[in-house]
Amino acid sequence: MNGRGTFEQLLAEGAAVPVRGWDFSWLNDRACEERPPWGYARLVADRMARAGAALDVDTGGGEVLAEVPHPPRVLLATEAWPPNVEVARRVLRPLGATVLWVAGGGDLPVRDATLDLVVSRHPVCTRWDEVARVLRPGGTFLSQQIRGGTVRELSEALLGPLPPPVRQLPEQAVAAAETAGLTVVDLREATLRTVFYDIAAVTYFLRKVVWTVPGFTVARYRPQLARLHDRIEREGPFVAHARRFLIEAARPA
């Protein structure tokens, strides 16, 4: 046993932490992940400062948007998970943002050609047609997206070998953007080392990032979690690799 606790203690700890919002600070000293080199929050802040009306799609708990020092005059945010909506409203109130609940993949509650900027960090589903519809001519969409195959090592530790990813690929995003009438002006990819120091961190992560192991519950995957705990005890921290891509697209003027 390491100094962090027994398997049962760590499992219970990771299973008890609330997972509302998109704040991962509980993982401090338990897990770490490299940041993408492009600095998404900085890019968003820069573009928000030059926009008159903007929208953040899938805002989570509003954590990234809350860092914007100079918000536009009109600032909207949408979120699909009801518990996050209330968190985001509280977090973004100082910015004067309006936070709206929108079902995952649903239409955006915005009139045609009314926004200078749409941003989205780790969207579940990008409605490229809706993004193109709400942007003004010359408006831009900036998004950091989760590439298919992200933290694949962790998924396979619980599920076994998986086929190559066929969804959430950068080339698919480019094709969808162009089909919607947008012009892609930037596309970048990054592979980021992600380290889990104990099974509590793994459990919390899997409860929060639900697409890593679809249908994950502690009870259902207890044997696999026990094996992974033993592996961490023997070999040290478990290493996986997150995969991200940044895409920026503009509506032609």
As separate numbers, helices (DSSP H) first and strands (DSSP E) second, the chain gives 8, 8
What's the pLDDT at 176?
98
Question: In the structure encoding, which two tokens stand for residue 52, read together?
Answer: 């008159």
Q: Name beta bridge partners: 146.
A: 244
Q: What is the DSSP letter of 44?
A: H
Q: Name beta bridge partners: 239.
A: 195
Distances (CA, A) of 126 to 74, 141, 143, 185, 195: 22, 11, 9, 17, 28
Instruction: Classify 165 as helix, strand or coil.
Output: coil
Instruction: Classify 160 as helix, strand or coil.
Output: coil
What's the pLDDT at 3?
61
- CA pseudo-torsion sign 134, 71, 170, 164: negative
Token pair 């509590």 is found at: 200
Question: In the structure encoding, which two tokens stand for residue 211, read together?
Answer: 């697409």
Integer Cα distance of 41 and 21 in angstroms: 17
* pLDDT tens for each residue of the chain, 253 residues long: 456 799 999 999 999 999 887 789 999 999 999 999 999 999 999 999 999 999 999 999 999 999 999 999 999 999 998 989 999 999 999 999 999 999 989 999 999 999 999 999 999 899 999 999 999 999 999 999 999 999 999 999 999 999 999 999 999 999 999 999 999 999 999 999 999 999 999 999 999 999 999 999 999 999 999 999 999 999 999 999 999 999 999 999 9
Integer Cα distance of 154 and 201 in angstroms: 12
Instruction: State the number of CA atoms in the 13 A half-sphere of 223 facing the CB.
Output: 3
* CB distance 78 to 109 below 8 Å: yes
Domain 7-250 has CATH 3.40.50.150: yes
